[in-house]
Amino acid sequence: MVENSETKYIGFLQMTDNCLTCGEHFSAESFQFSLGDRRKGLSGIWQLVKCNNCGVISMVPMPTDEQLAAYYDAYSKDDGVDLTRRTGVHYPRLRKLFHQISGDVDPRDFMDVPVGARVLDYGCGQAGYLCDFHDQGVVISGAEIAGHLVDACRNNGLDVHKVDDFSYIPFEDGTFEIVYLMQVFEHLRDPRGFMQELARILKNDGVLYLILPNAASVWRKIFGKNWVTGWFVPFHLFYYDRPMLAKIAREQGFEVVESWSSTPESWFRLNLKAYLYPKENNLDWRQTWLDALPMRLIIMIFLRIFELPLHERDCLVMKFLRRK
Ligand SMILES: [Zn+2]
C-alpha cells in the first residue's frame, strides 16, 4: 500500500488555503490524498494536504463548528462516565507492568505529580484517568466539551469545566503545574492559538504532556491508507511528528524535555483489521478473530520484539517545560 497510489487530486483545495501551523500558502503539490471514514461509519470524502514549508499534514478544508458537531455525534456509542474506583495497593504497579507489554500509553504510569501540584486533564472525556488521579489525592481538574460528561463528572464531585470554545481554556492564567492532553491535540483546529492558551494557564516551569499519533511512525509507511489510528478523518485535523510539535511549542515558550513513542496493541490490531477488511467502515465496532485473547497476546509479543530497534512508533509522548 502506497499512500499516493490511486487517488487523484479531486479539487476541494483552494489556493487561498493557508497552513494553520506556519501560515504558508498551499499549492497543488501540497495535496496528499483523499480518504473516507473507516472507523465510525460516516459517509464523505476528506482531503489531506502537506505543507511544503513546515511539513504538517492537515485536513482541507477545515470543518466548521456545525460539521464537527455532526461528526462527533457518531463518535461514541458509549456515553457513560467511567467512575469505577479501581485504585488498589498493587494495582498501579500491575497496570504499569501490563502497559509495558501491551504498549498502552497511560499518563498514570509516567506522570510525576509533586504533592499539592494542580493538574489539568484537557479533553478528559469519560474521566477514567482523572478519576484515578483524584482518588490518589492529586488536585486535578478537567475540561471537556460534551455537556453530559461534564455534568456526570460534577455530580460525582470532580472539578470538570465545560469547554465552549477551543480558542479559550476555561481557567485563569498560571493555574496549573501540569497539563496533559490524551489524544486531543490532533483534533484541534488552531494548534498555534491553542498552544498559546496552554502557555497561559500553566505556571512558569509548568509541565505539558501531549500524547498523540506520531506522523513519523514506521507503521504509517507499512499500513499505508489502512493506518486508521493515524489517518482518522474527519476527526484528526493535523498530523505531527516530534520536530513539528517542538517548533509550534517553542514559539510559545516551551522547551522539549523528553519524548518517546510506543505502539499500543489495540492500535496495531485496528490497523490490521483495516488492512484485512478493506470495505469495512465501522472498524471501531467490528469484532473479529483478532480480538480473541490469544491473538492479542501474540500481537503484543510480536510488537514488543519487532519494535525494539525502532525509534518512531505509533503513539507519541512529548513532555515540555514552559519557560518564561
Ligand atoms: Zn506549514
Within a domain: 296: no
Distance 242 CA to ligand 1 centre (A): 14
Q: How many domains does the chain have?
A: 1
Q: How far apart are CA 249 and CA 130, in angstroms?
A: 24
Ion ligand 1: residues, Cβ under 5 Å: 19, 21-22, 24, 51, 53-54
Within a domain: 60: no
Q: What is the CATH number of the domain that holds 218?
A: 3.40.50.150
Distance 269 CA to ligand 1 centre (A): 32
Q: What is the pTM of this model?
A: 0.91
Within a domain: 55: no
Domain that holds residue 181: 91-262+312-322
Instruction: List pLDDT tens digits, range 232-270.
Output: 999 999 999 999 999 999 999 999 999 999 999 999 999
**Averaged pLDDT of the chain:** 90
Distance 59 CA to ligand 1 centre (A): 12
Q: Say whether pLDDT at 8 is over 50.
A: no
Q: How far apart are CA 239 and CA 247, in angstroms?
A: 14
Within a domain: 209: yes
Instruction: Tell me the mean pLDDT in the region 66-76.
Output: 84
Q: What is the largest CA-CA distance in the chain?
A: 58
Read off the C-alpha cell for 269: 490490531
Instruction: Tell me the mean pLDDT in the region 154-165.
Output: 92
Distance 51 CA to ligand 1 centre (A): 5
Reported in sequence order, the residue ranges of 44-167 that DSSP labels E, i.e. its strands, are 46-50, 57-60, 118-122, 139-144, 159-162
Distance 104 CA to ligand 1 centre (A): 30
Q: How far apart are CA 162 and CA 143, in angstroms?
A: 6
Provide, rounded to the nearest whole percent, the portion of the chain with pLDDT above 70. Answer: 91
Within a domain: 290: no
Provide, rounded to the nearest whole percent, the portion of the chain with pLDDT above 90. Answer: 72
Instruction: List pLDDT tens digits, range 268-292.
Output: 999 999 999 999 999 999 999 999 9
Within a domain: 49: no
Within a domain: 138: yes
Q: Say whether pLDDT at 316 is over 90.
A: yes
Within a domain: 222: yes
Q: Say whether pLDDT at 14 is over 60.
A: no
pLDDT of residue 10: 45
pLDDT of residue 1: 40
